[in-house]
Chains A and B, each alone.
Chain A
Amino acid sequence: MNQQALIQARDLHKYYTIKSGLFQPNQSLQALSGASFDLYAGQTLAVVGESGCGKSTLARLLTLIEQPTAGQLSLDGIDLATANKKRVAKQLRQTIQMVFQDPFGSLNPRQKVGDILQEPLIINTDLNANQRRDRVLELMQRVGLLDEHIHRYPHMFSGGQRQRIAIARALILKPKIVVLDEPVSALDVSIQAQVLNLLIELQQELGLAYVFISHDLSVVRHIADQVLVMYLGKPVEQGLSEAVFNNPQHPYTQALLSATPQANTDRKRKRIRLTGELPSPLNPPSGCSFHPRCQNATAQCKTSTPVMEQHGDVSVACLLVK
């Protein structure tokens, strides 16, 4: 593909410092270590993993809410490290937008839909009131809201409609990249299908690139082109969706897939049982961070840390995958 990548991430790291007390040294929490990927227009990258695996940290870095501690990130061809921060950030915020998980919490209950939708335009553009209104109405129609909804408050809408409002708000500045943080996990199945269909249509129509953060693997399998599986802040497997789902290499991906319930009544499927829970990221296990829960772990896994390596169609960070 000779087209330029909209997002180029190379070895992104984010550490947070945790103050432990007056006389104790500060601890460092590795929320994200070493994520790399390219995302092109019209493509969807899904980031999957359990809570605490760094999915949302990645979203915060991509949306410029936080600065990466190390690594290189360029959005739409602009390298963030070298660019003039303030000017570029303003420009890039129009390029990358976000839809949040909870449509009940992410809309201001005291603003009408029209005001919610035109606020980004007031801040970022010079359009006058009439032009803003036209743009708002155009987008409301596009996401399946009626014109009369413009004067209503968020509480008058159902969850699915609110998520449509949130999607419209994200799209109003004509972004190229949309970060979707669990956009359908708060919705019922029938509504989830409506919102997913809308997202797919919009992507095809506008050529959007999606970063789709989710823990629901059946949704990811449906929507994603590329998948990035993370565990405790580290990417463990990455590749094209087909390859990762049909032939998962990393034991964590295998366990995650086998733990996901499937809507068929064949109970003979053998489960890989993951015992225990996610360790604390403040005190990650030595070596491969997955080894305490891994069924294939060997002595070597406790001491040496695996790195991402290309194996066939996917990259895997596991010492045992040859």
Chain B
Amino acid sequence: MALLEITNLTVEFATAHGSLRAVDQVSLSLDVGDIVAIVGESGSGKSVAMLALMGLLPWTATITADQMSFDGKDLLTMNAKQRRAIIGKDISMIFQEPMTSLNPCFNVEYQISEVLAQHFGGSRRSHKNRVIKLLEKVGIPAPETRLKAYPHQLSGGMSQRVMIAMMIACEPKLLIADEPTTALDVTIQAQILELLVELQQANGMALVLITHDMAVVAETADRVVVQYAGQQVEQRAVIELFNNPRHPYTEALLSALPEYAKEKTLNAIPGVVPGQLDRPAGCLFNPRCEHAQDLCRQKPPQRSEGILCHYPLPLKGATTDHVEASL
């Protein structure tokens, strides 16, 4: 049985202009030890889907799903108290901006021990040694001296390490990292990604990495979910996806990267992601797709082999050999 099983998750927000479908029939299945990356541009619903799983969405959101279960427990029918016992303990989440996710009024020790006291009981003080061990584990030098530090005394990389220490305090089975390195410098980004993968392997966690950076995906994930305007357009193993993208959006996203450019002009995708009021008929990507045909403008596509497209790009014959070679 999979650790996390989400089938056809849909999130709709009630807004002044009617209902906005931020996440549209998203499915995800995760096992212990998996690293899955969710990529997409802003507005593709990648964070919202995970916030729905965490139960962190405001009351304006309506969440529907055929199935949403974690470790055999059904998250849809669960009451708030039962959910609270899982969230933060078995499932935890790291956010994009380490500087704003930490509370500026409390020191590092207070914030980490609070998590431990909440889920394991006991007073905050009784967890002091555990906090030191956690800080050590995430690579903070001289953790004893950092216990009383306030967030403003820490650099961006250090704050993100503290966030990670807090999130792995209860040894979660599933860690969701929402753009964990976007606000950091490249050298620090490399350190944090390495740390996340190390912890994932040491603790046997499943890791969901939400990002917009294809390069980060290529270097860390096993499996990739590509989202566009709330829909999952492609879900594949990472090597297959990069060698042989099958959805036109994935292909366009990859060829827009400067490192894939063969000439001075980049292959930009024309237009922007559709908003709430300008959703096209048929396939949502059709106005920006260079392969779009009449059928794409009339009828929404059906999913086949994990790809949401009327005319998926052909499977390359050589791909399979290459996968074996690189594994």
Task: Note whether A and B form a binding pair.
Answer: yes
Q: Residues of A with Cβ closer than 8 Å to B?
A: 50-51, 158-161, 188-194, 196-197, 200-201, 215, 217-219, 221-223, 255-256, 259-267, 271, 273-278
Contact A264 B218, CB 8 Å, known A190-B41, A190-B256, A222-B266: yes
**A221 shortest CB reach to chain B, Å:** 7
Q: Return the chain A residue nearest B193 by Cβ.
A: A261
Do residues A217 and B186 form an inter-chain contact, with CB atoms below 8 A?
yes
* A-B contacts, 27 listed (Cβ < 8 Å): A50-B186, A158-B272, A188-B41, A188-B42, A188-B212, A189-B253, A190-B256, A190-B269, A192-B256, A193-B257, A197-B268, A218-B258, A219-B258, A222-B261, A256-B187, A261-B213, A261-B218, A262-B215, A263-B218, A263-B257, A263-B260, A265-B239, A273-B190, A273-B191, A273-B194, A274-B187, A274-B190
**B17 interface hit (Cβ, 8 Å):** no
A197 touches which of B155, B186, B265, B273 (Cβ 8 Å): B265
Do residues A263 and B155 form an inter-chain contact, with CB atoms below 8 A?
no
State A159–B275 Cα separation when bound (angstroms): 13
**B190 shortest CB reach to chain A, Å:** 4
**B50 interface hit (Cβ, 8 Å):** no
Ranked nearest first, the 7 interchain pairs of A and B with the lowest CB-CB distance are A261-B215, A222-B258, A193-B268, A190-B269, A188-B41, A259-B190, A193-B266
**B323 shortest CB reach to chain A, Å:** 9
Contact A194 B219, CB 8 Å, known A222-B258, A260-B186, A263-B254: no
State A197–B269 Cα separation when bound (angstroms): 11
Residues of A within 8 A of B326 (CB): 265-266
State A221–B259 Cα separation when bound (angstroms): 8
A193 touches which of B190, B242, B267 (Cβ 8 Å): B267
Residues of B within 8 A of A191 (CB): 41, 268, 272
Do residues B257 and A218 form an inter-chain contact, with CB atoms below 8 A?
yes
Residues of B within 8 A of A51 (CB): 156, 185
B191 touches which of A161, A217, A274 (Cβ 8 Å): A274
B256 touches which of A193, A260, A276 (Cβ 8 Å): A193
Q: Return the chain B residue nearest A267 by Cβ.
A: B219
**B98 interface hit (Cβ, 8 Å):** no
**B51 interface hit (Cβ, 8 Å):** no
Contact A262 B259, CB 8 Å, known A193-B268, A194-B268, A222-B266: yes
Do residues B238 and A265 form an inter-chain contact, with CB atoms below 8 A?
yes
What is the predominant secondary structure among interface residues of chain B facing chain A? helix
**B189 interface hit (Cβ, 8 Å):** yes
Question: Which of A161, A221, A263 counts the most chain B CB atoms within 10 A?
Answer: A263
Do residues B186 and A265 form an inter-chain contact, with CB atoms below 8 A?
no
Residues of A within 8 A of B213 (CB): 189, 261
Do residues A255 and B252 form an inter-chain contact, with CB atoms below 8 A?
no
**B158 interface hit (Cβ, 8 Å):** yes
Do residues A50 and B215 form an inter-chain contact, with CB atoms below 8 A?
no
**B81 interface hit (Cβ, 8 Å):** no
State A18–B34 Cα separation when bound (angstroms): 49
8 more CB-based (< 8 A) A-B contacts, given A196-B266, A261-B216? A51-B185, A188-B42, A190-B268, A197-B268, A223-B258, A263-B259, A265-B243, A273-B190
B218 touches which of A221, A265, A271 (Cβ 8 Å): A265
Do residues A261 and B219 form an inter-chain contact, with CB atoms below 8 A?
yes
Question: Which of A160, A201, A218 counts the most chain B CB atoms within 10 A?
Answer: A218
Residues of A within 8 A of B186 (CB): 50, 215, 217, 256, 259-260
Do residues B190 and A261 form an inter-chain contact, with CB atoms below 8 A?
yes
Residues of A within 8 A of B188 (CB): 50, 277
Q: Return the chain B residue nearest A269 by Cβ.
A: B219
**A142 shortest CB reach to chain B, Å:** 17
B253 touches which of A190, A259, A274 (Cβ 8 Å): A190
Contact A277 B272, CB 8 Å, known A261-B218, A263-B254: no
**B88 interface hit (Cβ, 8 Å):** no
**B235 shortest CB reach to chain A, Å:** 16
Do residues A265 and B258 form an inter-chain contact, with CB atoms below 8 A?
no
User: Which of B266-322 touch A at CB < 8 Å?
Assistant: 266-270, 272-273
**B3 interface hit (Cβ, 8 Å):** no
Do residues B272 and A197 form an inter-chain contact, with CB atoms below 8 A?
no
State A263–B257 Cα separation when bound (angstroms): 8
